[in-house]
A and B are shown apart, each in its own frame.
Chain A
Amino acid sequence: MTDQIVEGEVGRARLRKEDARLITGQTNWTDNISVNGLLHMSILRSPMAHARIGRIDVSPALARPGVVAAFSGSDLADGLGSLPCAWPVTEDIVLPDHPPIAVDEVRYAGDPVAVVVARDRYAAADALEAIEVDYEPLPPVLDLEAALAEDSPLVHSDKGTNRCYVWPLKTGEDFDSVRQRAEVTLKRRYHQQRLIPNAMEPRAVVVTPLPASGEYTLYSATQIPHVLRVMMSLVTGIPEHKLRVIAPDVGGGFGSKLNVCGEDAVALAVARRIGRPVKWTESRSEGYLATHHGRGMIQDIEIAATREGKVLGLKVDLLADMGAYLMLVTPGVPILGAFMYPAIYKMDAYDFTCTGVFTTRTPTDAYRGAGRPEATFAIERIMDELAVELGLDPVELRRRNWIRHEEFPYTSIAGLTYDSGNYEAATEKALGLFDYDKLRAEQADRNHRGDTVRLGIGVSTYTEMCGLAPSRVLRDLRYGAGGWEAATIRMLPTGKVEVVTGTSPHGQGHVTCWSQIAADVLGVPFEDVEVVHGDTKAAPQGMDTYGSRSLVVGGTAVHHAAVKVVEKARKVAAHLLEASENDLEFTNGVFSVKGSPDARRTIQEVAFETFSSHDLPDGMEPTINAEHLVDPDNFSYPHGTHLCAVEVDTETGQTHIRSYVCVDDVGKVVNPMIVEGQVHGGIAQGIAQALYEEAVYDDDGNLVSGTMADYLVPSAADLPDFVTERTETPATSNPLGVKGVGEAGTIASTPAVVNAIVDALRPLGVQDIRMPCTPERVWRAVRSAKEARS
């Protein structure tokens, strides 16, 4: 018997198990899947933002070579229900019908109207051109404020309004009375432009039917195989037990694959109709129309404070663009933000209202951060404006208002109980790394000299709610599902371990991290653990991956399941060693009898003994496998301080990020290498919103930024190096002490960058720049500020 020496796995920068296949091209993306008789589906989409569908004739497409079938929306309507919205945020929300493929009206450019199924993707694409559709144009609805006017054209004429819902949250004192006693009030309007998520893998679907038994396998590039199975069963009527959903390798999501999409339902319907396997893969440009967008809000925010810089209250009026239909969580996205506007600050009054508005544009839904980046942007921008108004340093203003570390747990004005945090520590560390005072001195010098290239410093001290979510809270928010997560641990007879998880990774490194967690508890080598995920047959229970929940909820489930395995194994080991359970120690995978170190059994030996079951304790089930489901008691609240220094050329409008420093507190860290990677990518996406990206529509409702050539996803040449550090204040809501990290960077970085640009240009009279802060917008802002002054 050899000693099993297992170092502590949690906290180690383990290289990823996922990489070996990905760096050698041995991948299994949905579009890679090929089966005998596979047909390709292509989708004809509306070229108009809003129109009534007259006649559709698919028969010319059927005459094309290689075409097997073609269907209009009405051909497929029988047997296809409405796509679900799982988050009807108010009792009286307007819930329009959402056919997976349009039947009589199209409501955004890109709304699907007909499909062709052919032997290869070229033939399928060609045949689309032969389909004849008569459209009777209807007026587009594009402006959020105009859409609410009495005389506005309607997106859903049967609903009589474009107002989807009004969701209020008023807490603490009455804001109006707080405003009256305030010495300073500021009101600002911020625009959250629409963004296109741009996961690098386009969405794709493959359906393989077994007509004789009525069984279907749906492969989908999705973040949510488990939710998708339930929903697809409801939409298509295929009984849930006859439907298997597999998320194979999935190439990024960022929320864009957190949905129940028409294409999945249509592919199932077509495969059912023709009894043949079907594949659909979106082209990038098609995805820009067909896959949901993010953000799209107008934020009116008002802050009330004393002259000394004590924030008294906050009022937020939000208009949120739903797009044409409600997708899975469309209405809920701005509501996730509702709780985050007060951020890390103490105040007496909070008055929030969100109005959801239908427009004739691609539906919006979750995009990395989902509501929280928008909220953080608005509060962090207006805190900077308030600091200027009061003549305070922006860090000092934050210091005067944030929750101090000794005040945790702290219930925010919005009603969230922040379990832990240390804003002082993160900020001090960030200021030191950034060399804040030196940069301020340089900035003053450049301003004094009238340098044409100005230096600006942006501050963002954020928190977020993640680890979605306590099921009871979700009930109170009218969300349709729970927030639990599941894990099963199987000890195989040879001592190897399978961890079955309900999370569904698509780049986050769950296989590596869950292996670390399980290896630590079980005392087995990291290499001996395999993680099974993303297949409703192999990993039948789960709530999937979004909202920075996987580690906090799913990782915690793995931990608890592993603890259960050890407890069961302890019973077997005690029996085999003829000792009392209480006399057994368990260290590094070895049970030994206290005081008799030679009397020992490894957990692997126990696994084999359990497999043979020749000598188990009386009445014991012959297994040490264990399952655990976790429903969290609270959200988790990562926080941090991000500092950005920009150089802005006032003559060209070009912004150059000179340095970027962040100190994030994501609680305990399972794998610091992976955490750093998540922060890097998050910051990049937040910077992309600040500087580069926008889904632009013309006055007719056409998506002008309709290809990757027109929508600027930043490249390596557009982004700087980031200095990333951490403080570690463990979460108290889970045994691992973890908080989640997937969205932190995106939430924090956008206001840091825009605050820096405005800070650079404020001496010239610039007070705000609408995102994305392109060179043209910056140049125009500088120019109009100059004109206003002369």
Chain B
Amino acid sequence: MRDRLIFSAQLIFTLIVAAFLVVPAGMSITAGVTANYFRGIASGVTLQWVAQVWELYAPTILLSFVIAFATLAVTLIVGVPAAYALHVRGGRLSRIVEEIITLPLAIPGLAIALALLLTYGSFGEFRRSWAFILAGHVVFTMPFMVRSVMAVFATLDIKTLDEGAASLGASPWQRFRNVIVPNARPGILAGSLMVVTLSLGEFNLTWMLHTPLTKTLPIGLADSYASMRLEVASAYTLIFFVMIIPLLVAMQMFADKERAR
């Protein structure tokens, strides 16, 4: 009896917390398809706001995905070998490098953006291109890739696997390709998942780094909240959800399958 009471209390608490998070999202989504938000859903359901958003912001959405996958590519190419090197080398120097890579987690995005602007702001071409935002996103997401790959290395004793492959005659590159990367796959997948979603949703840094011609999805969202009808902004949120949720689910399923192997 007492157990059931505790269970019920826990269930209710969980549901309340979930509702606290889910209801605003639901409200926002319904607002996006309501003809007139102030008159409520009774005013009719429409896709006109969604269409308007698409018309106005399609390039920002596209650019967001380009930047997200470019960020993923860079963090993969740089982050995985970096994690490998840091893990195998070990020692104090590696710890220091690891801390430096992790630093952007603790520093506000605005500060990172400011530093990038101060350093590279005068490189006009670079400053004006989306590569500038890419640089910011790479700095911001790199710790997630490096950390999640290193976490897998730690559970696998990758150093001994590496030594095993070396004893069989494999060169460092062969070891990396045949042994390290295949065994680090769960960490690489988890890291990729985080990098892509973080990059797609990143606002702080991007807001500082963007130009009118290099707006990303969240910047467009802020833009529409500031300057458009509430319905348009809500429709934008709806598009954001539709874009990002299937991606999240797909990557999560991929990761689960990998873990089950």
Q: Answer yes or no: do A and B interact.
A: no
